[in-house]
Amino acid sequence: MVSHLLIPGLVSDARVWRALGDALATRGPVVHGDVTRDDSIAAMAARLLAETEGPLIVAGHSMGGRVAMEMAHQAPDRIRALILANTGHAAQGPDERPKREAKIALGHESMEKLAAEWLPPMLDPARTGDTALMADLTEMVLDAGADLHERQIRALLGRPDAAEYLPEIACPILLLTGAQDSWSPESQHRQIADLAPDSELQVIGAAGHFMPIERPQETIAAIESWLNRRAGDIYG
């Protein structure tokens, strides 16, 4: 039986994919991946492969999308499909490290300050006044803590360039991003789509980088429609 592995992103947990996990439970087993223990994208991918069995449909959000691509690179025979949400594929950018190091320092000073600075630009600007949404996301960041934040940031700084192996990933890929995602914009996903042989891109309106939480029903509808259309390739 095909299992569904759902991977969260930076300082995130199972609540990112909670709604999708509930929806997919009728299709087969659902596993929420743990990416809190390793200090590289490759090690995260290897651990998730070791801790699961059989064929997988892997959904990854943000950093989790990078882990999902790496899993398909490490074990192409096991990955039936990828769902990559609000993610990227390139290696570290030339001006990236100082900004990341500043975030690490801020996290160790105060995770509350980090959450207050980091979260609003990650959302559709129209949702930053949603107190329930902001409280849920802030709690998630605070639960992660400064040490995990630093470990995951350093994993991202050392991330592989997935462009080197994306053309070799033959399984179906659904790319999703929010129309208001300025961190992982549509153009970035189009670059992935151009590299991956069997890919489809959909953009969810009125959603930012935390699209699966901001617009859960629209995200689920897009994923389930795609899974239904590709069921013969994925579940057969």
38 in a structural domain? yes
The residue ranges of DSSP E strands in 86-210, in sequence order, are 173-178, 199-204
Domain that holds residue 213: 3-92+157-234
Residue 150 counted as domain residue: no
Q: What is the CATH number of the domain that holds 209?
A: 3.40.50.1820
pLDDT digits (tens, 9 = 90+) for 7-34: 999 999 999 999 999 999 999 999 999 9
Domains: count for the chain: 1
Query: Cα separation of 177 and 71, whole Å?
Result: 20
Phi-psi region for residue 88, left (φ > 0), alpha (ψ -120 to 50) or beta?
beta
List, for residues 53-98, the tens digit of each pLDDT value: 999 999 999 999 999 999 999 999 999 999 999 999 999 999 999 9
**Distance from chain centroid for Cα 216:** 14
pTM above 0.75, yes or no: yes
